[in-house]
Amino acid sequence: MKTLKVLKTIKLFINGDFVRTESGRSFKMNNNDGETYANMSLASRKDFRNAVVAAKSAQTVWAKKTAYNRSQILYRMAEMAEGKITELENAITETTETPKIQAQLIAQSIVDTFVFYAGFCDKYQQLMSCINPVAGPHHNFTTVDAVGVVGLFADKEVSMQLFMDQLCSALTSSNSVVALLPKKYAAILAPLSEVLATSDLPKGVVNLLTGDQEELGEHFASHFELNSLCYLGDNSETKKHFKKQAAKNMKRIVLPKSKTLELENILNFVEYKTVWHPA
């Protein structure tokens, strides 16, 4: 006997809460049979700005945690994602015409990305910090600091592996993130945000938005509280526009190579701080 399906509205994930867009707008996501899969929130400029406010205050909370603790929280994400692996996989297969076997690989890569970067939270500092043998009576050392609030802007069709890799890289070096998911994979916001919400990640450290790339791009580019803007995609016009706008408040523009699971990806989101003290 066929029962009526309960349709879900997939909400945004801002400041640890699942919220509808303040704009009261949505877009429909169909499944591969052309039926409605879910209604998605079409995030507005205000949603984005709320997310930045949340990320800004969350960043200090996140950075204050010990590296060991951050490491455990990222590992907890892997554990939670493993529990939701079928859900992640289904969100992909049902909405993107991705063959099941490939969707499984994508879902698995999400888990593996969490594991990889979990293990890096307390190590990249050791690799990149140093004692500098200055020619004088001073103790001098360079440490690695977070860049701050990272805007992660993914074009519509960007792969989930690349997206997750940048998200985790930024988290590893204790940044907070406001991310716009690739529209193609918007449905993944539901299981992904549930993973994040149940992993002891302080609220606001990761904020996930779904919406129109064309509409939100401008706001990502021009917001003065973003310290870094990571663009995933290969649209040269977008790149140019982001770079130009970023110059206004000297946002660090990150245009990642396609390599995943790399120290270099973490180091795209750091500042080096050098301290001198008489010795």
| Distance separating alpha carbons of residues 90 and 26, to the nearest angstrom | 21
The nearer residue to other proteins, 7 or 127, going by C-beta atoms, is: 127
- Given 9, 102, 244, 258, the residue binding other proteins (CB under 8 A): 244
Buried b (16+ CB within 10 A) or exposed e, 120-159: bbbebbeebeeeeeeeeeeeeeeebebbbbbbbbbbbebb
Question: What is the pairing mode between strands 12-14 and 130-131?
Answer: unpaired
Q: Which residues between 209 and 228 bind other proteins (CB under 8 A)?
A: 227
Element housing 29 (H / E): strand 26-30
The nearer residue to other proteins, 160 or 170, going by C-beta atoms, is: 170
CB neighbours (10 Å) of residue 240?
A: 10
Element housing 152 (H / E): strand 149-154
Sheet holding 228-232, edge to edge: 17-19, 12-14, 206-209, 176-180, 149-154, 228-232, 252-254
* Segment interacting with other proteins, rule: CB under 8 A, options 97-105, 108-116, 135-143, 173-181: 135-143
* Segment interacting with other proteins, rule: CB under 8 A, options 15-23, 32-40, 136-144, 160-168: 136-144
| Distance separating alpha carbons of residues 271 and 244, to the nearest angstrom | 21
- Given 66, 102, 132, 258, the residue binding other proteins (CB under 8 A): 132
The nearer residue to other proteins, 7 or 263, going by C-beta atoms, is: 263
Q: Is 34 in the site for other proteins (CB under 8 A)?
A: no
Nearest-approach distance from CB 239 to other proteins, in angstroms:
8
Q: Could you give the angle at the alpha carbon of 228 between the alpha carbons of 48 and 211, nearest 5°?
A: 30
* Segment interacting with other proteins, rule: CB under 8 A, options 25-33, 68-76, 78-86, 236-244: 236-244
What Rg, from alpha-carbon coordinates, does the chain have?
A: 19
Closest among 202, 190, 137 to 29, alpha carbons compared:
190
- Given 2, 3, 24, 277, the residue binding other proteins (CB under 8 A): 277
Q: Is 272 in the site for other proteins (CB under 8 A)?
A: yes
- Given 66, 99, 127, 258, the residue binding other proteins (CB under 8 A): 127
Q: Is 234 in the site for other proteins (CB under 8 A)?
A: no
Nearest-approach distance from CB 47 to other proteins, in angstroms:
25
- Given 243, 260, 266, 269, the residue binding other proteins (CB under 8 A): 243
Binding site for other proteins (CB under 8 A): 127-128, 130, 132-136, 138, 140, 142, 145, 227, 236, 240-241, 243-244, 246-250, 252, 257, 259, 263-264, 271-278
